[in-house]
Structure 1
Amino acid sequence: MMHPNILNRFDLAGRTAIITGGARGIGLEIGRTLSMAGASIILADLDLETVKKAAVGVGPDVKAFQCDVTDPQSVRDLAAAIGACPDILVNNAGVVRVAPTKDTSDDDWHFVTSVNLNGVFHCCKTFGVAMAERGSGNVVNIGSMCGSIVVRPQNGPAYNASKAGVHMLTKTFACEWAKSGVRVNAIAPGYISTEMTSDPSYEISTWVELTPMGRFGRTDEVASVVHFLASDASSYMTGSVISVDGGYTCW
């Protein structure tokens, strides 16, 4: 049955959304966007003071919590502090270490996979399972185009493997919880203008040249797709990984 007003399907009023890595960059922009759509926002980040300041900039009722997504107990503590299970979970927390395999230290490998992959698992195990038990919920994971291709000219085995894992976890959870009323999707961004991509050592001109649209993406262009996936407008989508990469993976 069609909704009488299609725009109402984008309305998130009455829903609570938690965003990990919400203190800056893409995560913070997702918080702003979902807040404008009517959701009550919870920002979680490793740095409590930074995320508290970020929350004030999003809105007066936005809540901020400290959470280390690599630590399952920290995620469980976050759930206990929040109380009611959120309606929307956005697994955005992520880190990058770019180096050839020979220069990738054991610590770098474990750090990147712990945040990017294990963090998604821990948060989904805590919040996704609770959503499934309740019978409703929506999870959006932030993957990467590096989860399906190897970009040039840099190499990042840990990052690539972790994001490929995020894509597969997305499909796994989607199948597991589909009949429980929980949807799980992912976004695979390309190069987005954030603090993470402003490192002067990066080959920015090459990245732009390799992107068909000829520019970096904006954080709001990622956040708007998160909004779509978190809303009823995408109600028949689960297990999808949507590219938001300016056409990079089309070559």
Structure 2
Amino acid sequence: MELFDLTGKVCFVTGAGSGIGQRIAVGLAEAGADVGGFDTPSSPGLAETVSRIEALGRRAIALRGDVTDEGSIATAISTLEAEIGPLTTAVNCAGIANAAPAEDMDRAQWQRMYDVNVTGLFLCCQAEARAMLPRGEGSIVNIASMSGVIVNRGLMQAHYNSAKAAVIHLSKSLAMEWAQRGVRVNSISPGYTATPMNTRPEMVHQTRAFEDQTPMGRMASVDELVGPAIFLSAKAASFCTGVDLLVDGGFCCW
């Protein structure tokens, strides 16, 4: 359908080497987009992402850098535009997660969470908007978390929860700054999702708890984040900005 067709779009996806970011990068290509996948120099999966996109007949490029480094983000976007075309769409998936009791948490652990998940995401949005705003058109989608809306039972992650709440409100704030200049900004807040991080063998008991706590009785697959990302990036969502789309299997209803 034309409403969900991304043919002709040039997308920049951070965290594209694994998990949700990799699947969304490939999913945008499945909808017709050409994609620049951005991840750290040590990411082993970025080459696979590019191969999967090229197998679909779409153009793809691997871009390496750090979301906390303004220079590497700017260079990545410049390279993408020089090799594929003007940036129209961005999905910011890069992020980290860990846990520690608040009273014992080292300041460096707290700071690193905010450096990557909040400051890094802001720097990406800023660089993306600098490319989009002069053209008066663009879409930015930020991956937040239901942990920015609720507090997860049994998980001691005050730094992660508050950082994801910041992502949601940052997205709304940027949406309002750029609403009349043609750039839409929205966020997706996934619930428990079966990424490699959440399905390690040592996580089996925690995974069962995640499933038991979710009304639909299971975790999401990474495939189930593709539709929301396409929707918010496409013409179908042309009047949506400042939206936080919960994709949580009903978790936040309880």
Quote the offset at 1:48 in angstroms: 5.5
Tell me the TM-score normalized by structure 2: 0.92
Q: What are structure 1's unaligned runs of at least 5 residues?
A: 1-6
Residue identity matched to 1:185: N
Give the 3 Å change call, closer, same or farther, for CA 57–168 of structure 1 in structure 2: same
Residue 250 of structure 1 pairs with residue 253 of structure 2? yes
**Shift of residue 133, structure 1, vs aligned partner:** 2.0
Matched position secondary structure for 2:150: coil
The one-letter amino acid of 1:63's match is I
Q: Deviations over 1:157-182 (max 9, x none)?
A: 11111111110110011000001111
8 A contact 2:114–2:163 mirrored in 1 = yes
Matching of residue 52 in structure 1 with residue 55 in structure 2: no
Between Structure 1 and Structure 2, how many residues are aligned? 245
2:215 to 208, 212, 215: 212
Separation (CA, whole Å) in 1 of partners of 2:74 and 2:26: 25
Whole-Å separation in 2 of the counterparts to 1:16 and 1:232: 14
Cα RMSD (Å): 1.4
Q: 2:129 and 2:43 mapped to 1: Cα distance? A: 24
Q: Percent identity?
A: 37
Contact 1:52/1:65, CA 8 A, preserved across alignment: no
Written as runs of structure 1 = structure 2, the 5 A alignment for 1:80-229 is 80-83=78-81, 84-199=85-200, 200-201=202-203, 203-229=206-232
- For residue 29 of structure 2, the aligned residue among 25, 31, 35 is 35
Check the 8 A contact 1:132/1:181 in 2, yes or no. yes
Alignment deviations for residues 13-65 of structure 1 (CA, whole Å, 9 cap, x no partner): 01101100001111111011110110001111003653123311232531111
Letter in 2 for 1:231: A
Normalised to the residue count of structure 1, the TM-score between the two structures is: 0.93
The 4+ residue runs of structure 1 with deviation greater than 4 A are none
Residue 237 of structure 2 corresponds to 234
C-alpha distance in 1 between matches for 2:162 and 2:43? 29
Whether the aligned pair in 2 keeps the contact of 1:48 and 1:64 (CA below 8 Å) is: no
In 1: Cα distance, 2:86 partner to 2:108 partner: 33
